[in-house]
Structure 1
Amino acid sequence: MAGQAGVGLAAGSPDGGSPAGGGSADGGPDIDAQATRLAVGCAEILPVDGLRAKLAQAARENRPLRVKLGIDPSGSELTLGHAVVLRKLRQFQDFGHTAVLIVGDFTGRVGDPTGKSATRKVLTAEETVANSHEYFDQVMRILDPDRVEIRRNAEWLEKLPLQDFLTAATSLTVAQLLERDDFARRYRESRPISLMEFLYPLLQGYDSVAVDADIELGGTDQTYNNLVGRTLQRDAGLSPQVVITVPLLVGTDGVEKMGKSLGNWIGIREPAAEQFGKLMSIPDSAVATYAALCADFTAAEMAALTARMAAQPAEAKRDLAERIVALYHGAAGAAAAREQFNQLFQRREVPTDVPVVHVPAGEPVDIPGLLVSAGLAKTKSEVRRLVDQGGIKIDGVPLASGEHVVDFDRVIDRVVQRGRRQAVRVRAHADRPAPADRPAPADR
């Protein structure tokens, strides 16, 4: 698959014949090479020496590590933000270890409260099943399907005896939960926190007990939840997992965490041209972040990119966009997307470095009002006349006569242009999220 070609290997990495990547029983050069390579791009490893210790243990026992990643089926589309941790999981696979992918079909009905300022909508069992089915094609664009163990946590959580659940609950205290930033903030602001939300970390942590995970991966926002799993394993008499977190990818706005509700996302199964165009819209300040987290750039490649951004920023971004798109659509697909972008933006002279305006997420956009508020016109009637004359464009495509109000998906993260030089890029307000499951934007 195209996505599998994007992960580089360190010297001495396995060819698939050795379950744990080789090395001596007490840890040797191969263990050091694995530990060094796997640590690249990580935000935190807890405990700090835990990764090498787990690798050495696997080598002594001649077995692969069980590396857990949980996916919350709250929507149907995976983004480049999800791909960051999936690519780290693929690296473990390439060293011969087993990816244990936990589909939260039970915990998804509870809803992860991490980072939320209000109680999340509770999904039905049918919704979690439908969403999780959508994940597999996307996930396997990155992971090696021969080294994946897919589990659904309803397997054990639906059957968990109440006595066992209450016993596990003694490992957590209310004081500990209220120390979490999201809960602490909501408590200070007198916002509701349901007891079910309090129980979510316990349920997620129990997954680690059920699958006997050696390592759990997650974003930096999952550190607390993953450490709960470590605690529950220890209390259950198991060897506690090592927690490895990766940075959260900012969206195309370069500010907020990538998310579908903000319209700042890039889907891993979006068409190549759509991916390329969105990647070209990221601000220059986010280029290095995307190179490191989405394209696995080496230190030498990062240095070269920095120099190129200073000299030829537009071409440097095109090179990065092509490399990322190639991970999901192959080299030929990425090259075609680059050529299509060049034709669209260079021949139609669509400006790329333009001011940003914000609109309420998910709501239809009144183009005359937008351009008046942005200072590109004096009156709405003036804009309506320009629209009817073909003088207002979205990403170089003229609006049709009478097309004065457009759908949110049509305009979000795109350039609305009056003439050749006057233009704005449209983003969503961060404080007014759209529904989490809105479909991907239509092709340009």
Structure 2
Amino acid sequence: MSPEEQVKKIRFGSVDFVSEEELLKKLVKSFTQKKPLKIKAGFDPSRPDLHLGHAVLLNKLKQFQDLGHQVIFLIGDFTARIGDPSGSDKTRPVLSSAQVKENAKTYSRQVFKILDRDKTTVCFNSQWMDKMLAGELISVASKYTIARMLERDDFSNRFKTNKSICVHEFLYPLVQGYDSVVLKADVELGGTDQLFNLLVGRELQKRSGQEPQCVLTVPVLEGTDGVQKMSKSYDNYIAIEDSPREIFGKTMKLSDPLMIRYYKLLTDKTNEEIRKLKEDLKSGKAHPMAVKKELACFFVERFYSASQAEKEKEHFENIFSRQGMPSDIQEHIFSPKEEGVWICHLIREVGFSSSTSEARRLVQGLAVEINGKKVRDDNLKMDLKKGDEFILKAGKRRFAKIKVM
């Protein structure tokens, strides 16, 4: 693919592009010298799971790989100990080395559900930062000013409102930028909330006598609530290592507008295909439930297999669609305190009855079902294990999804 065609492909789905002209020059040089560009993206292992929010960025990295370039998947095990101040109105808690190390193990495994292992270099910024001497850190710090740091909205707002800014927080963008110097990155990718940090990398490369990296940002993905950005801390995430059933079920709970957003940011559909999809939904030519199932199948197939996606679709239709069950039923976390959970006790616990005697009458009247099968024994003891999930139904319209923890 020609450099011009590569730029056009890379531009699609990007937000900030610093700069298109510079990237074209790099691509022309790469093309003529037959030398792939180094494409860097950093991920702080502050949590153990990669989720669909990360997948937006990983998809763009994969796009570069498909164009023949080398991706550097940088695990920020050093920067994770600082805590990224981006978008925060207070100092983030510092993670222990043990926490970061454990989380980093999962990242280096999960990333290859999307990226090509043969075209990916995985490295950790502790490899050079843990060895850095105090004098070297002072030298890096001398290349950037506090005035420039305070141009960041989050730092500026905290400064104006007399909220504390710890000195170590200023180190975060500096270290992230210094990573680009060490790796001699040609391009760095990040979410739109990372733009400032990525530009620091350009500045430090210039001051170190290197050709500055190009910067590309991608949209920040909203979580399943459609409000906050996707994050485990907001409990609004779909992890790429969630079970196929969880991925399918969480996707089916998305609102219709959010579903379109996920199609746009997480699939390979073109703008024209997205526009057509929206028109078909508006005209009634396409049903939201069917379109959502297609999206859920896409995710399961991507992270597992096509056969698993078909299996989950069939399961969903058996449990939900064919029984007229709503897809947004309430989820109950149940932690058994003893072996053998009495069905009547469970019915009362989820609020389907005010007493076990009322629950017993529901069972005796054949009004209770588990995963579509009627419960006929009011003395039934259920052997529930951690990780079990099932649908409990009482009467015609009361449903609950039970998750055993």
- The reply on whether 1:156 has 2:128 as its aligned counterpart is yes
**Which of the numbers 307, 313, 324 marks the counterpart of 1:349?**
324
- The reply on whether 1:75 has 2:47 as its aligned counterpart is yes
Query: 2:392 and 2:155 mapped to 1: Cα distance?
Result: 39
Query: 2:10 and 2:211 mapped to 1: Cα distance?
Result: 21
Question: How far does residue 36 in structure 1 lie from its aligned partner after superposition?
Answer: 0.9
Give the match for residue 368 of structure 1. none
**Which of the numbers 130, 141, 146 marks the counterpart of 1:169?**
141
Query: 2:26 and 2:369 mapped to 1: Cα distance?
Result: 56
Change (3 A) 1:43 1:418: farther
- The reply on whether 1:305 has 2:263 as its aligned counterpart is no
Give the aligned CA root-mean-square deviation in angstroms: 3.4
| 3-state SS, counterpart of residue 49 of structure 1 | helix
Question: How far does residue 263 in structure 1 lie from its aligned partner after superposition?
Answer: 1.1
Contact preservation (8 Å) 1:253, 1:264: yes
Give the match for residue 245 of structure 2. 273
**Which of the numbers 36, 41, 61 marks the counterpart of 2:8?**
36
Question: How far does residue 167 in structure 1 lie from its aligned partner after superposition?
Answer: 2.3
**Which of the numbers 138, 145, 170 marks the counterpart of 2:110?**
138
Query: 1:288 and 1:169 mapped to 2: Cα distance?
Result: 43
1:222-241 to 2 correspondence within 5 Å?
222-241=194-213
1:1-40 to 2 correspondence within 5 Å?
12=1, 30-40=2-12
Query: 1:39 and 1:331 mapped to 2: Cα distance?
Result: 30
Give the match for residue 116 of structure 1. 88
Q: Which has the larger radius of gyration?
A: 2
Question: How far does residue 328 in structure 1 lie from its aligned partner after superposition?
Answer: 0.8
Query: 1:183 and 1:348 mapped to 2: Cα distance?
Result: 53
Change (3 A) 1:397 1:44: farther
Render the CA deviation track for 1:81-130: whole Å, top value 9, x for unaligned. Answer: 10110111011111110001111111111111112232222122222121
Contact preservation (8 Å) 1:345, 1:396: no
Give the match for residue 292 of structure 1. 264
Query: 1:415 and 1:171 mapped to 2: Cα distance?
Result: 59
Render the CA deviation track for 1:258-302: whole Å, top value 9, x for unaligned. Answer: 111111100101111210111111111112211111112123321
Give the match for residue 336 of structure 1. 311
Identity, % of aligned pairs?
37
Render the CA deviation track for 1:163-212: whole Å, top value 9, x for unaligned. Answer: 33222222322222223222233334433221111211001110000000
| 3-state SS, counterpart of residue 354 of structure 2 | helix
How many residues are treated as equivalent by the alignment?
Answer: 373
Render the CA deviation track for 1:379-408: whole Å, top value 9, x for unaligned. Answer: x9985348945789999899x99xxxxxxx
Q: Is the deviation greater in 150-159 or in 303-312?
A: 303-312
1:384-399 to 2 correspondence within 5 Å?
384-385=354-355, 388=359
Contact preservation (8 Å) 1:45, 1:51: no
| 3-state SS, counterpart of residue 113 of structure 2 | coil
Contact preservation (8 Å) 1:201, 1:225: yes
Amino acid at match of 1:295: T
**Which of the numbers 246, 255, 258 marks the counterpart of 2:218?**
246
Change (3 A) 1:137 1:443: farther
Amino acid at match of 2:82: V
| 3-state SS, counterpart of residue 182 of structure 1 | helix
Query: 1:103 and 1:118 mapped to 2: Cα distance?
Result: 24
- The reply on whether 1:147 has 2:131 as its aligned counterpart is no
Question: How far does residue 417 in structure 1 lie from its aligned partner after superposition?
Answer: 8.2
Contact preservation (8 Å) 1:273, 1:338: no
Change (3 A) 1:32 1:164: same
- TM-score, reference length from structure 2: 0.82
Contact preservation (8 Å) 1:67, 1:98: yes
| 3-state SS, counterpart of residue 140 of structure 1 | helix
| 3-state SS, counterpart of residue 160 of structure 1 | coil
Render the CA deviation track for 1:343-397: whole Å, top value 9, x for unaligned. Answer: 111234321368x99x9xx9x9xxxxxxxxxxxxxxx998534894578999989
**Which of the numbers 190, 193, 203 marks the counterpart of 2:175?**
203
Contact preservation (8 Å) 2:247, 2:300: yes
Render the CA deviation track for 1:31-85: whole Å, top value 9, x for unaligned. Answer: 1111111111111111242322221121233210000010101111110110110
Question: How far does residue 319 in structure 1 lie from its aligned partner after superposition?
Answer: 1.3
Amino acid at match of 1:384: S
Change (3 A) 1:135 1:353: closer
Q: Is the deviation greater in 210-219 or in 103-112?
A: 103-112
Query: 2:130 and 2:97 mapped to 1: Cα distance?
Result: 12
- TM-score, reference length from structure 1: 0.75
**Which of the numbers 45, 49, 60 marks the counterpart of 2:21?**
49
Amino acid at match of 2:177: G
Structure 1 spans left out of the alignment, 5+ residues: 1-11, 13-29, 365-379, 402-408, 426-440
**Which of the numbers 38, 46, 52 marks the counterpart of 1:66?**
38
Give the match for residue 261 of structure 1. 233
| 3-state SS, counterpart of residue 72 of structure 2 | strand
Q: Is the deviation greater in 323-332 or in 381-390?
A: 381-390
Query: 1:93 and 1:348 mapped to 2: Cα distance?
Result: 45
Give the match for residue 282 of structure 1. 254
Change (3 A) 1:339 1:424: closer
Question: How far does residue 253 in structure 1 lie from its aligned partner after superposition?
Answer: 1.1
Q: Is the deviation greater in 147-156 or in 414-423?
A: 414-423
Amino acid at match of 2:157: R
